[in-house]
Amino acid sequence: MHESELIQSILDGNQQDFKLLIKKYETNVFRAAIGFLHNKQDAEEITQDVFVKVYQSLSSFKGKAAFSTWLYRITVNTSLNYLRKKKRRGFWIGLSDLLQIPSKDKQTETIITERSEKIIIQHAIDKLPEKQRLAFVLSRYEELPQRQVAEIMKITEGAVEQLILRAKSNLKKKFEKELEWP
């Protein structure tokens, strides 16, 4: 069934057809959400929220943009709102992860180093300015073409390219600063 037919069928009241739409896009939504949240449980929660919102507002989708573009916009907004709410709590959780008592065991030390690096990278991504983060996550996690990222963000492709370049440069700087490299 074609996507527009599927949407029409859902709008006509065939609720079970919505499951087909979920199956088609759940991985994309989940992957984009994990790019923003870096946590499986949170990403699943966001995926659920996104599809509930999509179901409730499907009648407002006019088909001017691709369905996936509309879906990504909802995903981005839901993820960013969720992050804003969770910001303070997330900071303390991250900090407690970093402050775990180190062991002398070589293998544990490596695990801690890897975990610290992971947390530093995640924090660096989270601290990027919102537009840079958006462009970076959509292009790196979802591997979306710049054209689609531009459509989702309602900016030009050139602006997307600039945002991604600046995001990469900022990430490098932040990472070096955190690890105090010369």
Partner 1 sequence: MTSKKDIHQLIEDLIQKERNTEANPFLSTRIMAAIEKKNFSEVKQVSPVWKTAVVAFSLVAAVFSGVAAGSLYQTKNTTPDVVVMNDDRMENFVFYNEIGNE
Q: In the structure encoding, which two tokens stand for residue 57, read together?
A: 């507002």
How far apart are CB 83 and partner 1 at their closest, in Å? 15
Question: How near is the Cβ of 86 to partner 1 at its closest, in Å?
Answer: 17
For residue 181, the minimal CB distance to partner 1 (Å) is 6
Judge contact between 72 and 152, C-beta under 8 A: yes
Specify the residue, 23 or 64, whose C-beta has the smaller distance to partner 1. 23
Closest to 90 measured CA to CA, from 32, 30, 140, 42: 42
Give the span between the Cα atoms of 35 and 87, in whole angstroms.
15
Q: How far apart are the first and last CA of the chain?
A: 58
Smallest separation (angstroms) from partner 1 to the CB of 55: 5
Q: Please, which residue, 43 or 153, has the CB nearer to partner 1?
A: 43
The binding site for partner 1 (CB under 8 A) comprises 15, 18-19, 22-23, 26-27, 30-31, 34-35, 38, 40, 43-44, 47-48, 51-52, 55-56, 113, 117-118, 121-122, 140-141, 168, 171-172, 175-176, 179, 181
One-letter amino acid at 85 equals: K
Q: What angle do CA 161, 129, 38 make, to 5 degrees?
A: 95
Closer residue to partner 1 in complex, CB, 15/96: 15
